Amino acid sequence: MVQQSQWVLPARIRHQNRNDVVFVGDNFIQIKELVLSGHLEEVMTKADFDAKIVGATVINTRPEVGLGDEIGVGRSAAAPGAPLDVGNLAPQILVLILASKEMIFLYAKELSQGRHEFVHARRPLPADVSSLEEYGKNITVDPRSRAMAVSAAQKFFGIFSLKAPQVMQREMACGPVNPIQEERFFRTDGDILKMEFLYPKSSDPDKAILLLLVSRNSGVHLMLYYWNTTQNLHSITPRITGLRRLPVEWGAPPILVPLIQSTSFLFVTPTKVHIFSDVVEKNIPAKGYSLPPSDDSIFEWSDLIWTQWTRPMRHGVRNKEFDDIYLCREDGKILYLEIKDGSVKRNSVIGVLDCNLDTGFSILDGGFEAGDLFVATGSMSSGGLFIAEPRKPLRCIQRIPNWAPTLDSIIVKGPVRRNPPVSQTEFRTAGPSYDRIFTCSGAGSRPGAIAELRYGLEARIGLVVDQEDSSIIIDLWAIPNEFTGGTFCLISNPMSSSLISIPIEATEDLYALDEESSGLNLSSPTLAASRTANQMVIQVTDVSINLTVLEDEALRVSIEMEKPSNRIIAATINGRLSLLATVIRSDDGLQVIVRTPEINSSGLRCNMFAQPLVTTYEPVCLLIEEINSHFYLFIGTSDGRLVVVEIDYAKGLVPVTEQKIFGMGDQDSTVWHPRKRHISWETPLFEFEL
């Protein structure tokens, strides 16, 4: 069952080369990896928590170049000790706050054969706080992971000094890690609505600045706590600055965004953005900027709430001057803000995601197709993976299913098959033989949805290849490349064929092969193609049969038609059995020919299996199958007949049976039963024996 995810956190908690994304729900976490094709693949899930998850965030364990370094904010003191090889250690740690008033620090360790296991440590929170206070409702980490703050819904919050990155890495190398160095708890009057660390000035990089948004009887107030991170947390007295009361018409702003420009932040209300600048040293009035009005006639402008924000990664030079912010609204609208010198220089609507949004929204650092990649879990609706490319509309590249809440469900029983069917009605109503589950879900302003719950492997569009010279593609075949792990794609159109090599890695280029490099006939349409167990590729066109080993130019054979007027009109290949069958039209009539392609010390060969079989029917499709250790050629004809021919190594091609397949409206359809080996053909139209 797909469950609702509350948060989406890009977090490399397995390895620095794994572009992981953590989905956090009420009682589970799920790790998915953003692969090179631009899709999320499920890696592992942990759902054995003994209490509800009320908060989640990420701690960095690497003193490497990040957003803080790019704007000139750094840690002045390094931990002592010899250098540590951290190549195989996770660069980030996931922090979870449980309703049972404890913190969990978690990362994943790679085992043999590609398996992983979670490694975690627990740390209790103060027990004298009521469970109703939801200690952990607000959790935030300093931009340089030097401190962390956790608050209850009201009155209580704690500040935690974090260990130096090198110390955390050494602990991770040995087992579970506890990042907390010191802790200190505080009280404040009122409800704590929001809490965030601000970016310090580059001239004062050791300062930590914690901003609280507190609601009291007199209104909503701002409070600042700041201190020197190089000093012992218990030996200092954090300076507390009570800022102004927010205007009543702002209400309780749902979004608080720290800006990378020194000690600045912005509030987002339904219709405006308000920017506070240099709040530690100055008391500058907030600047207000109107947001684009809603074009949705269902709601009033002020009824729609901005629910989450995210910051894309940009080059360090740009980060020193600009701050780029994306805002998402509950109806799926995405707004881009460009901020410079404490002012909004640009705001534009990027588009609307086809889902409702809550806090499950983030941007991924995948470098995919030179665009920003958004992930949204959806709020009571399905989410997805979306890409925003320059001057192009938002595009969904992967759906993330979510049918919570499920309003109703139904099971549709599979049909009970009779053998043979008792009426023609059964022909028309035949469906899947299995039971099916359907659910009705949806909430909010968007229409509901009916989803079918199915089990199996998910198919995703990973690559789109334009074939500009092919107006119609009539068939294609995927041929594995055993040497590179990639795939050869053979494409047939009415006038010609083409062969494309698709690499296994999305970063590599695909390319087309010509006749000289492939050994195939690409100037004619392909009727059938396959690959045998010994890596021989077989292609049948309307004028030739071609055998090739794509990686060896010395192994090439082409069998042309004896007369220019002869044409192959139908073909089939069974690569596993190394058998192929063709139907050749000549001046003398129609012939069915079976051949045995093989590779030996003398090269490639494709000998005739037996004497050709002359037929008076015009075949339109062929199939070779092994049934009960016997080989059969099934021939479908243009006049609606099924002809079965046994491929016998002693007797050659032996016609076995011929069956007329009547239309669905024909009430006189018959079933034929010769007395030989029994074969049950799974179709409601007919059954026969061999």
Question: How many other CB atoms sit within 10 Å of the CB of residue 682?
Answer: 7
Q: Which residues contact residue 465 at a Cβ distance below 8 angstroms, ignoring those fewer than 6 apart? A: 489, 500, 502, 510
Backbone phi and psi for residue 365, each to the nearest 5 degrees, phi listed first: -95, 80
d(CA 355, CA 441): 13
Q: Which two tokens stand for residue 405?
A: 């809440």
Q: Which two tokens stand for residue 357?
A: 């949004």
Q: Tokens 């001046």, residue? A: 587
DSSP 193: E
Type of residue at 34: L
Question: How many other CB atoms sit within 10 Å of the CB of residue 533?
Answer: 9
Residue 98 CB-density burial (10 A; 0-12 exposed, 13-18 middle, 19+ buried): buried
User: Given its phi and psi angles, is residue 347 left (phi above 0), alpha (psi -120 to 50 degrees) or beta?
Assistant: beta
d(CA 32, CA 578): 41
Q: Which residues contact residue 247 at a Cβ distance below 8 angstroms, ignoring those fewer than 6 apart? A: none
Distances (CA, A) of 529 to 539, 585, 597: 4, 20, 13
d(CA 10, CA 67): 15
d(CA 662, CA 671): 10
Bridge partners for 156 per DSSP: 187
Type of residue at 316: G
Type of residue at 106: L
Contact 98, 104 (CB under 8 A): yes
Residue 215 CB-density burial (10 A; 0-12 exposed, 13-18 middle, 19+ buried): middle
pTM above 0.85, yes or no: no
Distances (CA, A) of 305 to 37, 271, 300, 357, 601: 33, 9, 11, 10, 74
Cis peptide bond prior to 254, omega within 30° of 0:
no
How confident is the model at residue 302, as a pLDDT?
53
DSSP 508: S
Task: Tell me the three state secondary structure of residue 688.
Answer: strand
How confident is the model at residue 664, as a pLDDT?
45
Low pLDDT (below 50) residues in the chain: 1, 65-82, 297-301, 424-429, 664-665, 667-688
d(CA 145, CA 167): 13
d(CA 236, CA 397): 51
Residue 468 CB-density burial (10 A; 0-12 exposed, 13-18 middle, 19+ buried): exposed
Question: How many other CB atoms sit within 10 Å of the CB of residue 308?
Answer: 20
Task: Tell me the three state secondary structure of residue 68.
Answer: helix
The closest alpha carbon to 251, from 220, 294, 211, belongs to 220
Task: Tell me the three state secondary structure of residue 429.
Answer: helix
d(CA 454, CA 565): 51
Question: How many other CB atoms sit within 10 Å of the CB of residue 302?
Answer: 11
Q: What is the DSSP string of 340-370?
A: ETTEEEEEEEEEE-SS--SS-EEEE----TT
Sheet order of strands, 406-412 included: 406-412, 436-441, 449-453
Bridge partners for 208 per DSSP: 227
Q: Which sign does the torsion angle of CA 224, 229, 231, 232 carry?
A: positive
Contact 492, 474 (CB under 8 A): yes
Angle CA 82–85–87, to nearest 5: 155
DSSP 125: P
Q: Which two tokens stand for residue 656?
A: 């076995």
Indicate the pairing of strand 619-627 with strand 116-124. Answer: unpaired
Question: How many other CB atoms sit within 10 Å of the CB of residue 562?
Answer: 9
d(CA 674, CA 656): 9
The closest alpha carbon to 376, from 314, 333, 312, 323, belongs to 333
Helix H or strand E segment including 458: none
Contact 213, 256 (CB under 8 A): yes
How confident is the model at residue 652, as a pLDDT?
93
d(CA 668, CA 662): 8
d(CA 568, CA 414): 42
Sheet order of strands, 40-46 included: 5-10, 20-25, 29-34, 40-46
Q: Which two tokens stand for residue 293?
A: 């009005």
The closest alpha carbon to 148, from 105, 235, 210, belongs to 210
d(CA 388, CA 375): 11
Domain boundaries, the chain: 407-453
Q: Which alpha helices (DSSP H) does 328-391 contain, by range?
A: none
d(CA 550, CA 553): 7
Q: How far apart are the first and last CA of the chain?
A: 46
How confident is the model at residue 621, as a pLDDT?
94
d(CA 3, CA 402): 7
Task: Tell me the three state secondary structure of residue 388.
Answer: strand
Contact 287, 342 (CB under 8 A): yes
